[in-house]
A and B are shown apart, each in its own frame.
Chain A
Amino acid sequence: MAGLILGIETSCDETAAAVVAGGRRLLTNIISSQIELHQPFGGVVPELASRNHLENINLIIQEALAAAGVSWKDLDGIAVTYGPGLVGALLVGVTVAKAIAFARRLPLVGVNHLEGHIYANFLAHPHLEPPFVSLVVSGGHTDLLHVLGYGRYRILGRTRDDAAGEAFDKVARVLGLGYPGGPQIEAAAREGNPGAISFPRAVVKDAPFDFSFSGLKTAVLNYLNRSRQRGEIINAADVAASFQEAVVEVLVERTLAAAARCRVDRVAVCGGVAANSALRSLFQAQSAGTGIEVLYPPPVLCTDNGAMIASVGYYRLQAGHTAPLDLNAVPNLPLENWG
């Protein structure tokens, strides 16, 4: 079986569809970003996201099938993100996927978005097999997991407050760099000195692999207020570089410690922040000589996409996990073990 899966993703501000063969081979990956739509609001507006998803989703699906040269009858299943995410946004993908699956008599697979990010690495690295440690780092997540097998996970740590990508967005806003914050901070930081300001690296008591970024965000705010009160000129590039360094250092250090603890020699980083070049270079520097190989998907598979959902869908379908036609969106869907 070729295992052709159509993957549909609408959990936040990307309308995406993709066709993947055998869980690993990308045929098409169509992504329509809503960044411009939300930019005037400085963040994602859920109602607008839902409206835009509904306007575009069918054309994105059509484009994914056409570009792959695949028709409905070639497909073996439809996979769709049903959580976690914005409930109204998720519902668009879930609704359309269910209607198509029913009309074409195709098996429907509900997919966890977080799990999707991990599987982006299977698409990028055809020979990658579990076990490995995965860091999922994006605007919605900062999770450290031990991937034991397909559908078998142990959560090692997660953020206690803001996700790393969320911290990037908030700091970009106070620096007046605009939305989305990740690429803006990264660009500004290139011109700055990461050692200019010493921002805190939070440790969570009794949880060596957990993260906390709200204190760092407050420290940046305090620094800016103090400088303004003193009438000092703020060097936004230095603030961005020093903030980014503080985030990246904690992510790299805890991930490599987790890999050592789990005795794995591979780490798969994923999610929107995995595209950050400072994160990548620090991982490379810190892992050198440790025997740990750090893998990332290409940037197009770091952002939300349908291909990663199709990949999970393939493996879930192989394991016999299909969804009923009353499948609902679950905004706080936890990661479950099914393998």
Chain B
Amino acid sequence: MLILAVDTATTVASVALVEGERLVAEEVLNIPQKTHSERLLPVLVRILAGTGVEIEQVDGIAVSAGPGSFTGLRIGLGTGKGLAQALNKPLVTVPTLDALAYNYYFPETLVCPLLDAKQGYIYTALYWGGKAGLERLTDYLALTPEELTGYLEGRDEPVIFLGDGIDLCGAAVSKLQGRAFLVPEASRLPRASSVAFLGRQALAENPGGVPLTAQPLYVRKSAAEINLEKKRAQLRRG
């Protein structure tokens, strides 16, 4: 079974093709100069051309669904939806933090993917490397780096950190002293191969995939909605 996966949740654009247990091809483009809109399909075309696979041969499409950059998520999911609709193939969405944690984990460790959510926030979730694979311990969260410290305190297992939010969380990470492990640069970035492998599992559980109305995992509301809620709360208080 051939799975085509895309990840555009961060500034990285990645496309991968996975057949069964085998990673057939992957491209990770980490250049901020061009928008996802300009580079995603060309990357996808290169992957197909390089492997000699025709788009019609793909059995399912997996998309990194967030959290992440709102616009990036829409370009990834919009591309996935367009392909799935035009090819009449199932679409599955994979939480971006799940995929990132899948990049690099070991049994009996905590994994803490960190993504820059801008405006002083990070997106994160905490995972435990269990016997059957990764087990998510928290919700998908938008936190300040200070709040992250609270989530990591009171545990004594080693913590594996990865993602583009590491630099923002220096204080929280250094508090853990010898228990913090920073993943090497190459495995820190979101990779579509992880999205593809997790997407393959999701598709096995749900062969029809998600509906074409599927939304990204935004985690955060739009600024306008937050402001309106504040205004209404103020009115209620009088």
A155 at interface, CB cutoff 8 A: no
A47 touches B213 (CB 8 A): no
- Tell yes or no: A206 within 8 A of B by CB: no
A321-335 CB contacts (< 8 Å) to partner B: 325-329
User: Chain A nearest CB: distance from B221 CB in Å?
Assistant: 9
Q: Is B83 a contact partner of A95 (Cβ separation < 8 A)? A: no
A19 to chain B, nearest CB (A): 15
What are the residues of chain B within 8 A of A94 when measuring CB–CB? 37
Contact present for A99 and B82 (CB under 8 Å): yes
The digit string for A168-188, where 1 denotes a CB below 8 A from any CB of B, is: 000000000000000000000
How far, in Å, is B52 (CB) from chain A's closest CB?
A: 17
Is A45 at the interface (CB under 8 A from chain B)?
Answer: yes
| Chain A, Cβ-Cβ closest to B87 | A103
Contact of A91 among B55, B71, B83 (CB under 8 A): B71
Is B133 an interface position by the 8 A CB rule?
A: no
Q: Which of A58, A95, A326 has the most CB of B within 10 A?
A: A95
Residues from chain B with a CB closer than 8 A to the CB of A231 are none
Q: Which residues of B contact A102 (CB under 8 A)?
A: 41, 44-45, 55, 83
B21 part of interface (Cβ distance < 8 Å): no
B74 touches A98 (CB 8 A): no
Q: Tell whether, in the assembled complex, residue B55 and residue A96 are in contact, meaning their CB atoms are under 8 Å apart.
A: no
- Which of chain A's residues 303-339 have a Cβ closer than 8 Å to chain B? 325-329
B145 to chain A, nearest CB (A): 24
Stretch at the interface among B147-155, B177-185, B196-204, B223-231: B223-231
Query: With A72-B86, A326-B41 as given contacts, are A99 and B78 in contact (CB-CB < 8 Å)?
Result: yes
Q: How far is B212's CA from A55's CA once the two chains are assembled, in angstroms?
A: 8
Contact A47 B74 (CB under 8 A): no
Are the CB atoms of B228 and A104 closer together than 8 Å?
Answer: no
Known: A55-B215, A58-B82. A99 touches B41 (CB 8 A): yes
**C-alpha spacing A337/B39, complex, angstroms:** 27
A326 contacts B82, CB within 8 Å? Answer: no
By a beta-carbon cutoff of 8 Å, the part of chain A in contact with chain B is: 40-41, 45, 47-48, 50-51, 54-59, 61-62, 72, 88, 91-92, 94-100, 102-104, 325-329
A-B contact count (CB 8 A): 104
Chain B hits for A41, CB < 8 A: 224, 228
Closest 5 CB pairs of A and B: A99-B82, A95-B78, A103-B86, A47-B222, A58-B212
Minimal Cβ-Cβ distance residue in B for A91 = B37
B215: chain A residues at CB < 8 Å are 51, 54-55
A61 to B74, CA, bound (A): 17
Q: Does B70 count as interface, using CB distance less than 8 angstroms?
A: yes
Chain B residues whose C-beta falls within 8 Å of the C-beta of A91 in the assembled complex: 37, 71, 74-75, 78
Proximity bits, B171-214, A CB within 8 Å = 1, else 0: 00000000000000000000000000000000000000000110
From the candidates A48, A59, A92, A104, name the one contacting B213 in the complex (CB within 8 A).
A59
* Inter-subunit contact A40/B228 (CB<8 Å): yes
The answer to whether B39 touches A103 (Cβ under 8 A) is no
Does the CB pair A99–B224 fall under 8 Å? no
Q: Are B81 and A58 in contact (CB under 8 A)?
A: yes
A-B contacts, 16 listed (Cβ < 8 Å): A47-B222, A48-B222, A54-B215, A57-B81, A59-B213, A72-B86, A88-B74, A92-B74, A92-B78, A95-B74, A96-B82, A99-B86, A102-B55, A326-B37, A327-B37, A328-B37
B42: which A residues are within 8 A, CB to CB? 325-326
> Would you give the shortest CB distance from A320 to chain B, in whole angstroms?
21
Take A45-B224, A328-B38 as given contacts and tell me if A54 and B82 are in contact as well, using a CB distance cutoff of 8 Å: no
A88→B70 contact, CB < 8 A: yes
Chain A residues near B74: list those with CB within 8 A. 50-51, 54, 88, 91-92, 95
Determine if B83 and A51 form an interchain contact, defined as CB atoms under 8 angstroms apart.
Answer: no
A100 pairs with B213, CB closer than 8 A: no
State whether the Cβ of B104 lies closer than 8 Å to any Cβ in chain A: no
**Residues 66-120 (chain B) with a chain A CB within 8 angstroms:** 70-71, 74-75, 77-83, 85-87
Q: Which residues of chain B are within 8 angstroms of A48 by Cβ–Cβ distance? A: 222, 224-225
Within the assembled complex, what's the spacing in Å between the Cα atoms of A40 and B224? 10
Contact call A55/B224, Cβ cutoff below 8 A: no
> Which residues from A are CB-within-8-Å of B144?
none
Least Cβ–Cβ distance between A104 and chain B, in angstroms: 5
Q: How far is the CA of A328 from the CA of B35 in the complex (A)?
A: 8
Pair A47/B82 contact, Cβ less than 8 Å: no
Q: CA of A153 to CA of B45 in the docked complex: distance in angstroms?
A: 36
State A114–B225 Cα separation when bound (angstroms). 30
- Find out whether the CB atom of B78 lies under 8 angstroms from the CB atom of A51: no
How many angstroms from the CA of A57 to the CA of B42 in the assembled complex?
22
